[in-house]
Amino acid sequence: MCRALIIGAGGVGTVVTQKVAANPVFTDVMLASRTKSKCDAVAAAIGGNRVKTAQVDADSVEELVALFSEFKPDIVINVALPYQDLTIMDACLECGCNYLDTANYEPKDEAHFEYSWQWAYQDRFKEKGLTAILGCGFDPGVTAIFTAYAAKHHFDEIHYLDIVDCNAGNHGMAFATNFNPEINIREVTQKGRYYENGKWVTTEPHEIHAPLNYPEIGERESYVIYHEELESLVKNYPSIKRARFWMTFGQEYLTHLRVIQNIGMARIDPIIYNGVEIVPIQFLKAVLPDPKSLGSNYHGQTSIGCRIQGVKDGKERTYYIYNNCDHEVAFKETGTQAVSFTTGVPAALGASMWAKGLWRGAGVFNVEEFDPDPFLAELGEQGLPWVEMFDVDLEVDKIK
Ligand code: NDP
């Protein structure tokens, strides 16, 4: 018996709720979010009174504690926004619930994300005998599990890790983000950062770029940006000499981003407009397309994976492990596009790993600290098949 509470009824929450509801390991399921009508719509589409719904402001520990005390979840799946990670973790500690999320904590007033805030909960989760699973979407999430799988089965030492994230889909809009616009724009406009020889190297935004080839897609310009799983992976795999994260952007997208920044619409500090305090990026989110609405006209694929170089039995080897996900296939199954799908499927699967007792432990864990095998054994069946290639040209090794 496992009672699961999902928080956040956005694109990702829609997929998580469908996958959790379809899995008999979860006996009781609830979806709670700021706007209850959105939870009701997701629950109605699933039908059969399988999913209960509730309204909650996840910024309030008090409201969360009241909800958790009533529903008594064994595990809370946080797919609201990174701003709510700590309040939800606090409420989990107070009510004796286990925790899983897909994005690390970010303070609202600083576009800065790192694990230190959540790693600081280690002793408290340990003392209570509770599990907190951090970063169980696709990236972070499956990318770290791919790395753990490579380390377990194919390498004695990983030396170079390049995570490559390509969205070759086309939604037909002039500009839209694939997940929450506020979080997305904060992420992609910050300075680049990668790890090399024990140090973090900072670059200007999008300074390092190169054309990379993606399976079934072809060549796409790819840019080094900072991404949160790099922080935990270089800690958990100390043999890594260099770790980078690459993401593809189209020229049109980058032009829009530059304009948004230049005219001040990416600002995260409050301004006064007509006597009312507004935060420009939050206003921008309100006028941009809802990522959840992009699916119906989205064509093409995403391709996300890890390109790894290292040593096995004294020999150098290269390895590429990836998943391609088709926007139209994701939409047909869940009514959402591939970015929500590739995030929601691993979150629901990670929660089921906990529910089945396969991923357990007292404390705070990044996903690569668990056994990757049972998770990857099921990932394909859940809609995200993965492919391995050995001793191939990784391309990234030529770009220093
Ligand atoms: P959306 O903006 O579509 O959904 C977020 C949901 O959270 C909305 O329903 C929103 O409510 C709700 N919410 C926001 N604030 C609160 C609050 N204070 N209390 C209760 N509910 C709240 O985002 P996505 O679904 O696109 O993304 C969800 C999460 O997934 C984000 O944290 C994102 O960073 C993460 N993500 C992770 C990825 C990965 O691979 N690891 C990739 C993509 C996303 P309302 O509807 O009222 O606004």
Closest CA to 244 of 219, 227, 258: 227
Average pLDDT over residues 146-160: 98
Q: Is the peptide bond before 140 cis (omega within 30 degrees of 0)?
A: yes
Residues 11 and 118 in one domain: yes
Burial of 218 from C-beta contacts in 10 A (0-12 / 13-18 / 19+): exposed
What b/e string do you get for 255-277 counting C-beta neighbours within 10 Å, with b at 16 or more? eebeebeeeeebbbeeeeeeeee
What pLDDT is stored for residue 72 in this prediction? 98
pLDDT, one tens digit per residue, over 205-237 is 999 999 999 999 999 999 999 999 999 999 999
Q: Which residue among 19, 34, 63, 101 is best mutated to probe the pocket of ligand 1, counting the most ligand atoms within 8 A of its Cβ?
A: 34
Residues 120 and 174 in one domain: no
Please check whether residue 125 is in contact with residue 363, taking contact to mean a CB–CB distance below 8 angstroms: yes
Q: Which residue among 323, 343, 384 is best mutated to probe the pocket of ligand 1, counting the most ligand atoms within 8 A of its Cβ?
A: 343
Residues 170 and 230 in one domain: yes
Q: Please, which residues have CB within 8 angstroms of residue 306's CB and are 6 or more apart in sequence?
A: 143, 146, 147, 150, 161, 162, 163, 164, 319, 320, 321, 322
| Ligand 1 atom nearest to CA at 35 | 47
Residues 220 and 282 in one domain: yes
Distances (CA, A) of 305 to 94, 220, 386: 37, 14, 9
Residues 209 and 115 in one domain: no
Decide if 356 is inside a domain: no
Decide if 360 is inside a domain: no
Decide if 117 is inside a domain: yes
| pLDDT surpassing 90 at residue 398 | no
Domain that holds residue 54: 3-134
> What is the number of structural domains in the chain?
2
Quick one: pLDDT band at residue 110, thresholds 50, 70, 90? confident
What pLDDT is stored for residue 397 in this prediction? 82
Ligand 1 pocket, 192 CB below 6 A?
Answer: no
pLDDT, one tens digit per residue, over 129-138 is 999 999 999 9
Residues 63 and 198 in one domain: no
Q: Tell me what the pLDDT averaged over the chain comes to.
A: 96
Among 115, 134, 153, the domain-final residue is 134
Among 80, 111, 134, the domain-final residue is 134
Ligand 1 pocket, 84 CB below 6 A?
Answer: yes
Kindly report the backbone phi and psi dihedral angles of residue 281, in degrees, each rounded to the nearest multiple of 5, phi listed first.
-65, -30
Q: Please, which residues have CB within 8 angstroms of residue 202's CB and are 6 or more apart in sequence?
A: 191, 192, 193
Quick one: pLDDT band at residue 186, thresholds 50, 70, 90? confident
| Ligand 1 atom nearest to CA at 38 | 46
| pLDDT surpassing 80 at residue 111 | no
Ligand 1 pocket, 307 CB below 6 A?
Answer: no
Q: Cα–Cα distance between 338 and 77 in angstroms, integer?
A: 20
pTM tops 0.75, yes or no: yes
What b/e string do you get for 189-198 counting C-beta neighbours within 10 Å, with b at 16 or more? beebbbbeee
What pLDDT is stored for residue 108 in this prediction? 87
